[in-house]
């Protein structure tokens, strides 16, 4: 069974989407994930600003 995370406050910066989700242990986590085909960039952050910065500075690997 796939695990569906419920993302909130999803924004898009270039090809990267940033969303916030509740990790079920009392904390919010923030994910920056690139939607470009073949890129595969996806990282979790404790801090929303860090996730948005990563999205803003992300460059797809060829
Ligand atoms: Zn990318």
Give the pLDDT confidence of 3-38 residue by residue, as tens digits.
556 899 999 999 999 999 998 888 999 999 999 999
Q: Is residue 11 part of a domain?
A: yes
- In a domain, residue 35? The reply is yes
In angstroms, the CA 47 to CA 59 distance is 20
Copy the structure tokens of residue 6.
């419920």
The per-residue pLDDT for 1 is 43
Total domains present in the chain: 1
What is the model's pTM? 0.85
Q: What's the CA-to-centroid distance between 38 and ligand 1, angstroms?
A: 8
Q: What strands lie across the sheet with 42-45, from one edge to the other?
A: 8-13, 16-22, 28-34, 42-45
Domain range for 48: 5-55
Of 45, 60, 57, the closest CA to residue 13 belongs to 57
Q: Is residue 32 part of a domain?
A: yes
CA of 29 to the centre of ligand 1 (A): 20
- 62 inside domain: no
Q: CB within 5 A of ion ligand 1: which residues?
A: 34, 36, 39, 41, 60
Does residue 61 lie within any of the structural domains? no
Evaluate whether residue 20 is within a structural domain: yes
CA nearest 58: which of 37, 41, 45, 40?
41
Instruction: With beta carbons less than 8 A apart as the criterion, state whether 15 and 39 touch.
Output: yes
């Amino acid at each position: 069974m796939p695990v569906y995370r419920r993302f909130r406050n999803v924004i898009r910066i270039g090809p990267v989407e940033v969303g916030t989700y509740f990790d079920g242990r009392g904390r919010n986590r923030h994910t920056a994930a690139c939607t470009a085909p073949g890129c595969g960039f996806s990282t979790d952050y404790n801090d929303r600003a860090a996730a948005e910065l990563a999205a803003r500075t992300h460059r797809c690997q060829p």
